[in-house]
Structures are given as C-alpha cells and as structure tokens.
Amino acid sequence: MSIGQSAGSAPAQEGFDAAPLEELLVKYQGQKGTLIPLLQGTQAVYGFVPREAMTRIAEALREPLSQVYGVATFYAQFRLVPRGRNVVRVCHGTACHVSGAPLISQEVERHLGIRNGENTEDMFFTLEDVACLGACGMAPVMMINDRTYGKLTPDKAVAAVKEFRSKTEGGGQNGGDPAASADAEATPATEEEA
C-alpha cells in the first residue's frame, strides 16, 4: 500500500482507539462534502491523522483510500505523524521575511538540532515554519504554543525557546524524560488550534 510506504515513519498505533472516530462518522453521516471536516475532526482528537483512521474514513464514505490519502496530503494542515508536545511556529510572512525571519529560523533550528517540520528526539518540541501569523506589526514573530513573541532577533528567539523549556520542565512536566515522552506520544494532543 502506498500509504504504508509514504507514511513509513509513522509509528504503528498499537491499540488504535476507534471510538472517537466512530462518533465523528455518526455526526457527519448523510451530509455532503464531509471528507475534510472528518479529517479535521480526526486530527483534533488524535493530534494527527493515523493510518487506521484514513482506512476507516475511506470505508465509511465508500471512497477509495487513495482519495482520502490524496486529500490528507494535499492540505498543509494535516499531519500524518505525531507532533511534539509543544509547537514552535516561526512566521515567514512577507513582513517577517523582510525583517529577518530566515535568521530566526536558522538559529532556532541550530539550537534545537532539528529542521522545519521535525520533532526533537524527546518529543518536547516540534518546529514549524508558517506562512503568516498575522502579527505583522511586531515582525519578526514566533509562537510557542499559544504565546506570541514579537520584535525578535535570532538570540532573543533562542532565549525564548530555552526559557520556555526550563520553565515548563521546572514546572513539573517531565519534558526531558524519554519514558514520559513515550506516554505523551500516545496521548491525544489537546492544544490543536483549528
């Protein structure tokens, strides 16, 4: 199957809990044009779109799996692999670009040791380049989860990432503990913005 190959890095979801997906399928039953809302709902519940969910959606909609996979990979919003517990979004809108966003990304990438779209090994951070966060007056900007950091320089950006980590870990979350990360991986992400 093409899905197995293309989403090869996705860890097998042992004990995929289909119940929330079944609820979604009931909610949208009989309506037109529901594939995208179903995928959005799936991602909101599971934190990403698991392979098993795509198979089930295809079956329920009587669509070929290729159609579901095609839609899921066409739109930037859908992720087929799990995401880290915290998301760093570096804005690359025009205003941010001309104000130095490439340097911000470069330094944050160097600090975290990952590239755009990747997770840190401990699943603490995911790094994402985004098109425009809409805070053009404060360019260049970056978000860590829901908080926006504006008028950045490369060192301010790295300092913010460091501070976030030390605060969060100091605050009792086991950010660096691999055992805890494995647990968190299976936990549905709840901070989904959409």
Partner 1 sequence: MGVAETIRRPVAGRPRRGTPDVEIGICMGTGGVAAGGDDVFAAFQQGLKASGVYGVVKPREDTCEGGCASITGTGCRGMCAMDVLVDVTTRTGGQQRTVTYGTVTPAMVDKIVADHIVGGEPVHKWIVLSEEEPTSHNEFYQYQDRLVLRDCGRIDPEDIDDYLDEGGYQALYKVLTEMSPVQVQEEILASGLRGRGGAGFPTGLKWKFAAEASSPDGQKYFICNGDEGDPGAFMDRSVLEGDPHTVFEGMAIGSYSIGASEGYIYVRAEYPLAIKRLKIALIQAEERGLLGDNIMGSDFSFHLKIKEGAGAFVCGEETALMQSIEGKRGMPRLRPPFPAVSGLWARPTNINNVETLACVPWIITHGAAAFSGRGFEKSKGTKVFALTGKVKRSGLAEVPMGLTLRDVIFKIGGGIKNDKPFKAVQMGGPSGGCLPESLLDTKVDYEELNRTGAIVGSGGMVVLDADNCIVDTALYFLKFTQAESCGKCVPCRVGTMRMLEILARICEGEGVPEDIPLLEDLAANIKAGSLCALGGTAPNPVLTSLKYFLEEFEEHIHDKKCRAGACAALTTYWIEAENCNGCRACARACPVDAISGEKKEVHVIDADACIRCGACYEKCRFDAVRRQ
Q: How far is the CB of 58 from partner 1 (least distance, A)?
A: 12
Packing angle, helices 19-27 and 51-61, rounded to 10: 30
| Cα distance between residue 137 and residue 95, in whole Å | 8
| Cα distance between residue 130 and residue 94, in whole Å | 11
Neighbours of 186 (CB within 10 A): 14
- What string marks each residue from 44 to 63 as x (binds partner 1 by CB under 8 A) or -? --------------------
Please, which of residues 67-126 interact with partner 1 by CB under 8 A?
Answer: 70-71, 74-78, 92-95, 97-100, 103, 106-107, 110
- What string marks each residue from 5 to 44 as x (binds partner 1 by CB under 8 A) or -? ---------------------------xxxxxx-xx----
130 vs 186 by CB, closer to partner 1: 130
Q: How far is the CB of 182 from partner 1 (least distance, A)?
A: 29
Among 65, 136, 159, 186, binds partner 1 (CB under 8 A): 136
User: Sign of torsion, CA 165 166 171 173?
Assistant: positive
137 vs 170 by CB, closer to partner 1: 137
Strands 125-130 and 142-144: unpaired
Q: Report DSSP state, residue 119.
A: B
Tokens of 126: 């995911």
Neighbours of 60 (CB within 10 A): 18
10 vs 97 by CB, closer to partner 1: 97
- What string marks each residue from 151 to 170 as x (binds partner 1 by CB under 8 A) or -? --xxx---------------
Q: How far is the CB of 135 from partner 1 (least distance, A)?
A: 4
Q: Which residues of 113-131 are buried (b: 16+ CB within 10 A; e: fewer)?
A: ebeeebbbebbbbbbbebe
> Which residue ranges make up the site for partner 1 (CB under 8 A)?
32-37, 39-40, 70-71, 74-78, 92-95, 97-100, 103, 106-107, 110, 130-139, 141, 148, 150, 153-155, 193-194
